[in-house]
Amino acid sequence: MRATAALVLAGLALAGCHSGAGGPEVAIARVGLDPIAGCEDLARALRDRLVADMDRALDANLATALEGRCWAYGGAVPPLAPAGDAGDGGGAKAFSDTNVQVAGVDEPDLVKTDGNLVYAIGDGRLQIVDAWPAAEAHRIAAVEVEGTPRRLLLNEGRVVVFSSLSAPTPEPGPTPVPPSGGGGVPVPGGTTASPVAVPAGDCTYGYDCVPTGDGNPSKITVLDVSDPARPRVLREVTFNGSYLAARRIGASVHAVLALPERTVPGLAYWPSTFVCGDGTSPRAIREAFEELRRANRALIEGAELGAFVPAVRDVRHDAGGDAVDADVLGACPGFHASAEGLGVGFVSIASLSTDGEGPLSVTTVLGRPGFVYAAPAALYVASPHAWRGGGSWFWGEPEASPEATTVHAFQLADAPGPRAEYRASGVVEGRVLSSFSLDEHAGALRIATTTGHSPDPAAHSAVAVLRDAGGVLEEVGRVDGIAPSEDIRSVRFDGARGFVVTFKKTDPLFVLDLADQAAPAIAGELKVPGFSTYLHLMDPDHLLTLGYDASDQGGFAWFTGIQLQLFDVADPAAPALAYRELIGTRGSTSQAVTDHLAFNYFAEKALLALPIVICEGGDPAGGYGDLMTFSGLRVYRVRADAGFTYLGGVAHATPETPETFRDACSGWWTDASTPVKRSLFLEDFVLSFTDGEVRVQDTRSLGADLARIDFTAP
């Protein structure tokens, strides 16, 4: 009988190595992915990685102790945190689609339509709505899916739902390491890990977050909706890792999942046998740390590792019965280890077909998660790293470049089945902001990064151009020194052009000339108040942006209201602000500020729908507006020759008054969230979605609901 991955890993305890006390000298870290041959090699790689992480933490604490900057402590102290702290023709003739980053690469969303039927996630279920004619929209099915549905895809009579599963009652096991810890994570048929509080890792905009998933197990459910009133489950794939991102290219789905970083219970990072400053000699301090190091190593070598590694269960349903593969990764296929040796978590790319048939392919990396970008034939994972002293680094002078992003490229294939195969790796200085920081064009990857944080004078941004040279993403060109002392707030690439917005007190819009990959350059620059968090190519000559206005206070700036801008970028050397629309005061927010999927520009009708909460009562100098005057969907006509024309709003809540104040204006800009999550246009009609309902109105006479569907109804 074949031994499962969990059993092999649980029983294997082999010797490792240590670089020595006091911290190793700085070495140049390798970049790339090394293949792992099987379960025994995987266990050894994981134990070595756990030992290395423990050594780094002890080395840092030892240096602190030798300086006398510590205290008596008898318990365990966590190690250093990882870096980064289709229709039947009877529907609408024109309708809006998911606002994807790359044409031809679909992204999972809360809402999908074929112009006739609408598939939405609401009230914890898959909701199916007959939406045409729009005024007669009504629900035809509400489908229970195991777990909490998060996103969905639609393709030719199939719906793919990505859901988060509840954490089970914890049993003794490894503890997740902050900040990428999560709920109790079961290995299908195996052990579980103890739950901890989950930080905001399920994010799309990385100004203060790196995506790590929600920390819970996840599931992919493929449903046949050819009869939408009676959906039928075709396939269920369960993972002990959490959903990060996914892309659909044709009938192939590639889902990226992360298993949180974990540490072995009982590890300690300060000796309990001495007190710094009590006259203890440096030799005694070193000996105490070495004794602790040996004890920690023994715990790591004896630990069961079953709950540390990815596990997948695949169940296919058909008329002949269920086909179950409860141990997809039993022989540890498709595993790689990041060569730089950082991170004790796993990132998996699971590939399958929307038809519910064919093989399930899984490629897994022992390393760190990050932002996911996909082109039609490639998928990239960009993971952040920060220099914290000791160990190896990517350059010889880590203090001068303390932030780095490794990028791993995977080739996407369709035959003999969907799969992602490792292709190449590279590293760049700095950190990325979002998936929009990466773009593939003409055989090269462009990546925008920031090193440092505003208002540090040393902070700067760059765009690097990388090309695959025999498995290495080599830098062939770079434009650096973009906006010293500022950081990037938004990026958009468009063929041979790039657009970058930075911010400290004003909003510099940079237009980049990327035609010559060896010599990218800044073509033009424009400074206006505030900053944009999302850039949208309305047409080749006009950039439609969303963000915040700002009030210059001298040494800093207050954010004020929501700001829509329309830039003329026909002349790259002279970008110009054509139109501007300000909404509300400080405290106003929109889901679309940090999630491009909530931004809905319908080019066929020149319509823009924006989910928003408008707060007023502040002042132009940045005073906080704490009175909610509108919560719903705001609709504009946007034309290059006429700018913004407000058409009206679909309200989902009663405005506040001083007498009915309920604190509806309390959000922070990076945590932008609104009750309205998404919208759709069907010809001249707009559908506005919250988690609990959808409202239908006519954009030609907004203000009255033509239909309202309650998702919470049985």
User: How confident is the model over 591-602, as pLDDT tens digits?
Assistant: 999 999 999 999
d(CA 260, CA 262): 6
Give the tokens for residue 80: 């250093």
Over 451-492, what HEC string results?
Answer: ECCCCCCCCEEEEEEEEECCCEEEEEEEEEEECCCCEEEEEE
**Average pLDDT for residues 617-625, to the nearest whole number?**
68
DSSP 618: -
| Per-residue confidence (pLDDT) for residue 169, from 0 to 100 | 46
What is the average pLDDT value for the chain, to the nearest integer? 86
Bridging pattern class, strands 158-164 and 685-689: unpaired
> Lowest-pLDDT range, 365-374, 485-494, 555-564?
555-564
Burial class (CB in 10 A: 0-12, 13-18, 19+), 200: middle
Residues 627 and 606 sit within 8 Å (Cβ to Cβ) = no
| Per-residue confidence (pLDDT) for residue 696, from 0 to 100 | 98
**Average pLDDT for residues 76-101, to the nearest whole number?**
65
Return the amino acid letter for 57.
A
Query: What distances in angstroms separate CA 650 from CA 229, 612, 646, 685, one per listed residue?
Result: 28, 10, 12, 11
Rg (CA), the chain: 26
Residues of the chain with pLDDT > 70: what percent?
A: 84
The torsion angles phi and psi of 695, rounded to 5 degrees, stand at: -115, 140
| Per-residue confidence (pLDDT) for residue 555, from 0 to 100 | 60
> Lowest-pLDDT range, 374-388, 483-497, 622-636?
622-636
d(CA 73, CA 275): 8
**Average pLDDT for residues 312-322, to the nearest whole number?**
92
Residues of the chain with pLDDT > 90: what percent?
A: 66
Q: Which residues does 554 contact at the CB level (< 8 Å), separation at least 6?
A: none
**Average pLDDT for residues 580-589, to the nearest whole number?**
91
Residues 402 and 390 sit within 8 Å (Cβ to Cβ) = no
| Per-residue confidence (pLDDT) for residue 494, from 0 to 100 | 97
Q: Which residues does 308 contact at the CB level (< 8 Å), separation at least 6?
A: 9, 46, 174, 259, 262, 344
Return the amino acid letter for 334.
G
Find where tokens 């719906």 sit.
Answer: 159
Nearest to 614 by CA among 578, 667, 693, 558: 667
pLDDT band at 430 (very low <50, low <70, confident <90, very high): very high
Give the tokens for residue 598: 């909530």
d(CA 37, CA 27): 26
pLDDT band at 556 (very low <50, low <70, confident <90, very high): low
**Per-residue exposure over 468-479, b if at least 16 CB sit within 10 Å of its own CB, e if not:** beeeebeeebbb
The answer, yes or no, to whether residue 130 has pLDDT greater than 90, is: yes
Give the tokens for residue 681: 């246009």
Largest CA distance in the chain: 85
Q: Ranked by mean pLDDT, which of 45-59, 177-191, 390-404, 602-616 comes out on top?
A: 602-616
Residues 85 and 114 sit within 8 Å (Cβ to Cβ) = no
Q: Where are the domains of the chain?
A: 531-573+582-714
> Lowest-pLDDT range, 6-10, 428-432, 457-461, 525-529?
6-10
Q: Which residues does 253 contact at the CB level (< 8 Å), separation at least 6?
A: 153, 160, 220, 246, 247, 351, 352, 353, 354, 418
Nearest to 633 by CA among 585, 668, 591: 591
pLDDT band at 626 (very low <50, low <70, confident <90, very high): confident
Cβ neighbours, 10 Å, residue 557: 21
| Per-residue confidence (pLDDT) for residue 70, from 0 to 100 | 56
Residues 339 and 471 sit within 8 Å (Cβ to Cβ) = no
Beta-bridged to residue 646, according to DSSP, are 636
How would DSSP label each residue in 330-366?
TT-TTEEEETT---SEEEEEEEEETTS-S--EEEEEE
- Between the two ends of the chain, the Cα-to-Cα distance in Å is 47
Find where tokens 């504009």 sit.
Answer: 636
| Per-residue confidence (pLDDT) for residue 417, from 0 to 100 | 87
Report CA torsion sign: 255, 434, 335, 39: negative
Q: What's the predicted TM-score (pTM) here? A: 0.90
d(CA 210, CA 231): 36
How would DSSP label each residue in 493-542?
EETTEEEEEEESSEEEEEEEE-SSTTS-EEEEEEEEESEEEEEEEEETTE
Give the tokens for residue 691: 């988690």
Bridging pattern class, strands 361-367 and 345-353: antiparallel
Element (H, E) at 257: strand 252-259
